[in-house]
Amino acid sequence: MTSTDQRKKPATASTGTRARRRRPLRSRIADWVLPLILVVVIVAVWQAMVSFGGVKEYVLPAPGAVVKKMFSDFGTFADQSVPTIIAIFVGFALAIVVALPIAVAMVYSSVVRRAVYPLLIIAQVVPKVAIAPLFIIWFGFGQLPKVLMVALICFFPVVIDSMVGFRAARPESLMLVRSMGASRWQAFWKVRWPWAVPSIFAGVKVGITLAVVGAVVAEFVGADTGLGVLLITARGDMDSLTVFASVAWLTVIGAVLFGVVELLERVLVPRRGGRRSFEASGSL
């Protein structure tokens, strides 16, 4: 190798490093720009339908009117958001607290897995809208039925993705730490838990979006306060503007909660080539 080649090699490596640094930046910009463009197009079509398509205002309010309603009645929407958000947080936390131990038990015990897994499937396929009235009958009105509905609807994706993550640990890594004298508990924390965290967050991200759905479903069936109650009342009054504004508030709440979970994942989870498990998906 000549001296000229030796001088060129570091420059090439440096150029490659700079290129790798620029690519993620462009990718991050695209992640925001492309959805923003799509949203602008949808809003423009929406506005055109109202302005030039002959769609009545009470059928489809203009996007500007919906935004104005959100801010003009900010106090009302904020007050009604509090019980909904409380139910989301408490129910979601309850789902995680219950799901993780069950996932661990199913990984370590085939008897538990064979006994519990079919019940999880049955509980998931039952429509949650059909269960919500029973919660009202059993637990009355208030926050408890909403919390239980949120926990029920969030539970399945969290427990399934957690189980998949715990089972995905490399057997050779487990045998290595056990051969070094580690207990089963130490092997769990050193191998299974780090390996499962990305999959757990995958289930948590699915669950947090379903938590908003669960809270609103419970408020539709029977509740005293909440955005779901406000939405149902507005629907009964044929107030489509308030309906759209309530849906917009729920959308913002769901997006913010998902963003918080996404941020926690980026902070707490080391990147492993983008490996994620999305085997669990919730549905009503």
pLDDT tens digit sequence for 124-174 = 888 888 888 888 888 877 788 889 999 999 999 999 999 988 888 777 777
Please give the residue that has the higher pLDDT: either 192 or 255. 255
Tokens of 27: 């990718």
Please give the residue that has the higher pLDDT: either 169 or 194. 194
Say if CB 244 and CB 57 are below 8 A apart.
Answer: no
How far apart, in whole angstroms, are the C-alpha atoms of residue 176 and residue 259?
37
Calculate mean pLDDT across residues 31-46: 82
Say if CB 242 and CB 230 are below 8 A apart.
Answer: yes
Residue 244's contacts (CB-CB under 8 Å, 6 or more residues apart) are 61, 66, 69
What is residue 124's DSSP assignment?
H
Most confidently modeled range among 30-44, 75-89, 137-151: 75-89
The pLDDT of residue 25 is 63
For residues 260, 266, 269, 274, the Cα torsion angle rounded to the nearest 10 degrees is: 120
What is residue 140's DSSP assignment?
-
The pLDDT of residue 280 is 41
- Scan for tokens 């809208």, then name that residue: 129
Alpha-helix runs per DSSP H in 141-226: 143-167, 171-179, 184-187, 193-221
Calculate mean pLDDT across residues 76-95: 92
How far apart, in whole angstroms, are the C-alpha atoms of residue 208 and residue 89?
9
The pLDDT of residue 205 is 93
pLDDT digits 0-9 by tens, 253-264: 999 999 999 999
CATH class of residue range 56-268: mainly alpha
Say yes or no to pLDDT of 206 above 80.
yes
